[in-house]
């Protein structure tokens, strides 16, 4: 038998072998991988000695080329070079603007048309992740035991599922999908750098997405109070605006794909150059007829201001959702936050100077590595616990086309909640469980995630069946829904795997519209609920009259039918109070009829039963 022997004062963590956990920032423009040993955290060289791996893959040869090598072929082989695949993760062709659809095949799911065949965003991301992992293994001479992969806080279930699927294809053991703003907060060591009551905002303007998160330390828990942002707004969009400005300056039109790629490259270089100088000269051999043109910092600010204002609008929504009075600190994440106009706007909005001492391109990967080191089993036990939140409410469709929210937005993850439902019709033996995401009151205003059927419900009167629907959202934000009929224990469930993700601005639009139409939505909900209640009463009374109308006198029957007609007339209006009042009046008018039906039912049940038997059963 072998025993591990150590000196009495040796810390317990030094007695067990360390495991290797890596943090991966799968970015739209660049991707990175980092490691942490609990004391020091460092980026790992992945691409010709550089720390940044361009998120570009070329499929023109026998094997994919990833990173700088692929980027070099972007102009020469644009059709086979895929960049910014992250923007299309978990999305369908319908979500893609018409101007961008030429690079995609007609296949389903969404895929890029390349010489090597159709490549989905998941496959492209898998190639990026595989390259990062293999580079790290080559540098460190060991394979990772697990990785933490970061995602935008606003990625929905479909986009998170797509990210995890890409990691699975790449052969990675994913410990957790971590929201990028949360990772950035970890990199700055919020458990020691802010007070127990400190509130922090993470402003993340990456290449393809924008995220804003409001976080707070609460008794050792790093909790995300609220998130906001835009899954289709980032530095790439600023590059596009600069490219349009260059095209106008040079009077260029009818550009080929290769020329468009060159114009975007020039735009990106100009944006980066203007972070260090007040003007930048742009020239290109690809457009020999075009003279050198100078773009100034003032021009860039004028071009970028509308997009920056969109990010601040999302910040305001997040602050409102978090219900905080002040922000103690702001962290900047993403290469585009180097722009002076972005930094100035953020400082003016939050009223404090932003933290940017850690390279904004690297801060997410560093935070992911710190968390990976803890999750892989190397933590000290004193590490901050991370509680991410659901970006949008999750719920079910109920009778009348309404949404019943089961898990509200900004609920801390992981979370599990259950709610009881019932049938709406007599003898109903099946139920369609329709899972929805969004903040509005009606199904048509929310996003459908999935549907599944629960069958085998015993035939009972409406409202008698008891169906428990459970929602479980794990720490990665992935959703599982199950439904159980309590009498027979019949069960159905699924992991929600939508076929595509949210379209451009859809998440932000959901939140804006939920606030803008809040009053109107509530009115519609109340009106629909009143009509559903009235319809249920009318249906039940119709059935009762068909079976037992002989219990009523002709006058009583006429009066009851008249009350029904008055309720149906009220249902044709938008007067909620009138519908509810008439429903109550019909219910009271039919009370005597209901009592007579109950008496008949009891007499029928007792018919033919001996008195002695009845007495004996009552004493048991």
**In contact, 457 and 465? CB cutoff 8 Å:** yes
Which residue among the candidates 47, 80, 86, 211 is catalytic per the annotation?
86
Distance separating alpha carbons of residues 22 and 33, to the nearest angstrom: 7
User: Is 595 one of the annotated active-site residues of the chain?
Assistant: no
Task: Calculate the CA dihedral of residues 402, 406, 412, 414 and round it to 10 degrees.
Answer: -130
Is 328:198 a contact under the CB 8 Å cutoff? yes
- DSSP string computed for 297-362: HHHHHHHHHHHHHHHHHHHHHHHHHHT-S--SEEEEESGGGGSHHHHHHHHHHHTSPPB--S-TTT
> How many angstroms separate the Cα of 542 from the Cα of each of 183, 473, 557?
60, 43, 12
Q: Quick one: DSSP state of residue 292?
A: P
Place of tokens 């409410």: 393
529 is catalytic: no
DSSP, collapsed to helix, strand or coil, labels residue 597 as helix
The verdict on whether 204 is a catalytic residue reads: yes
Kindly give, in sequence order, each residue whose CB lies less than 8 Å from that of residue 328, ignoring residues fewer than 6 positions away. Answer: 194, 195, 198, 199, 200, 352
* Dihedral angle over CA of 462, 463, 467, 472, nearest 10: 120
First to last CA, the chain: 66
Instruction: Name the active-site residue from 95, 123, 204, 439.
Output: 204
Q: Rounded CA gap, 532 and 600, in Å?
A: 29
Cβ-contact 552, 559 below 8 angstroms = no
Q: Of 25, 157, 239, 485, which is the active-site residue?
A: 25
Based on the residue annotation, tell me whether 86 is a catalytic residue of this protein: yes
The secondary structure of residue 85, as a DSSP letter, is: G
C-alpha 422: how far from chain center: 29
Residues β-bridged to residue 405: 395
Burial-class residue 511 by CB neighbours within 10 Å (0-12, 13-18, 19+): buried
**576-589 and 518-548 are packed helices; what angle lies between their axes, rounded to 10 degrees?**
20
Work out the burial of residue 147: count CB atoms within 10 Å of its CB; fewer than 13 is exposed, 13-18 middle, 19 or more buried.
buried
Residue 351 CB burial class (10 angstroms; 0-12, 13-18, ≥19): exposed
Dihedral angle computed from the Cα positions of residues 514, 520, 524 and 526, in that order, rounded to the nearest 10 degrees: 100
The residue annotated as part of the active site, out of 80, 123, 157, 180, is: 180
Q: Are 362 and 43 in contact (CB under 8 A)?
A: yes
Spatial contact of 503 and 233, defined as CB atoms under 8 Å apart: no
Catalytic positions: 25, 86, 180, 204
């Amino acid at each position: 038998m072998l025993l591990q022997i150590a000196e009495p004062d040796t810390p317990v963590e030094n007695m067990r072998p360390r495991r290797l956990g890596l943090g991966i920032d799968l970015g739209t423009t660049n991707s990175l991988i980092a490691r942490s040993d609990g004391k020091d955290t460092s980026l790992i060289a992945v691409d010709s000695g550089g720390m940044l791996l361009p998120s570009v893959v070329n499929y023109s040869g026998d094997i994919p080329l990833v990173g700088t090598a692929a980027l070099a072929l972007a102009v020469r082989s644009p059709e086979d070079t895929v960049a910014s695949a992250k923007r299309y993760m978990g999305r369908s062709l319908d979500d893609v603007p018409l101007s961008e659809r030429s690079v995609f095949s007609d296949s389903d799911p969404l895929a890029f048309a390349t010489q090597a065949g159709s490549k989905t965003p998941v496959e492209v991301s898998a190639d990026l992740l595989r390259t990062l992992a293999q580079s790290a293994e080559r540098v460190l001479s060991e394979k990772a035991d697990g990785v933490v992969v970061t995602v935008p806080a606003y990625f929905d279930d479909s986009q998170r599922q797509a990210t995890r699927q890409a990691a699975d294809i790449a052969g990675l053991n994913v410990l957790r999908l971590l929201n990028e703003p949360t990772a950035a907060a970890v990199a700055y060591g919020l458990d020691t750098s802010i007070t127990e009551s400190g509130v922090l905002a993470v402003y993340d303007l990456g290449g393809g997405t924008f995220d804003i998160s409001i976080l707070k330390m609460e008794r050792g828990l790093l909790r995300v109070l609220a998130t906001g942002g835009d899954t289709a707004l980032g530095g790439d969009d600023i590059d596009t605006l600069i490219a349009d400005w260059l095209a106008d300056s040079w009077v260029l039109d009818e550009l080929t794909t290769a020329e468009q790629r060159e114009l975007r490259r020039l735009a990106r270089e100009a944006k980066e150059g203007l972070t260090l100088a007040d003007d930048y000269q742009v020239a290109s051999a690809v457009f020999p007829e075009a003279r050198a043109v100078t773009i100034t910092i003032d021009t860039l600010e004028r071009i970028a201001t509308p997009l920056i204002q969109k990010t601040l609008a999302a910040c305001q929504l997040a602050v409102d959702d978090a219900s905080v009075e002040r922000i103690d600190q702001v962290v900047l994440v993403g290469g585009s936050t180097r722009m002076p106009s972005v930094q100035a706007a953020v400082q003016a909005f939050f009223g404090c100077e932003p933290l940017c001492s850690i390279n904004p391109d690297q801060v997410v990967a560093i935070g992911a590595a710190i968390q990976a080191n803890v999750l892989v089993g190397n933590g000290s036990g004193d590490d901050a616990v991370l509680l991410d939140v659901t970006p949008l409410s999750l719920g079910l469709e109920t009778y009348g086309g309404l949404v019943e929210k089961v898990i509200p937005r900004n609920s801390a993850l992981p979370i599990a909640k259950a709610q009881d439902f019932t049938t709406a019709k007599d003898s109903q033996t099946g139920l369609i469980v329709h899972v929805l995401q969004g903040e509005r009151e009606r199904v048509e205003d929310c996003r459908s995630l999935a549907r599944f059927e629960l069958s085998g419900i015993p035939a009972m009167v409406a409202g008698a069946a008891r169906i428990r629907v459970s929602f479980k959202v794990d720490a990665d934000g992935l959703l599982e829904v199950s439904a159980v009929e309590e009498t027979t224990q019949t069960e159905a469930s699924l992991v929600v795997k939508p076929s595509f993700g949210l379209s451009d601005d859809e998440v932000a639009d959901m939140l804006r519209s939920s606030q803008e139409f809040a009053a109107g939505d509530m009115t519609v909900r109340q009106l629909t609920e009143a009509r559903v209640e009235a319809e249920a009463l009318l249906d039940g009374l119709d059935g009762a009259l068909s079976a037992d109308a002989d219990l009523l006198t002709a006058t009583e029957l006429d009066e009851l039918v008249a009350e029904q007609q008055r309720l149906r007339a009220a249902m044709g209006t938008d007067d909620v109070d009138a519908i509810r009042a008439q429903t109550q009046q019909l219910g009271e008018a039919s009370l005597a009829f209901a009592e007579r039906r109950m008496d008949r039912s009891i007499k029928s049940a007792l018919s033919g039963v001996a008195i002695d038997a009845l007495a004996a059963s009552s004493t048991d």
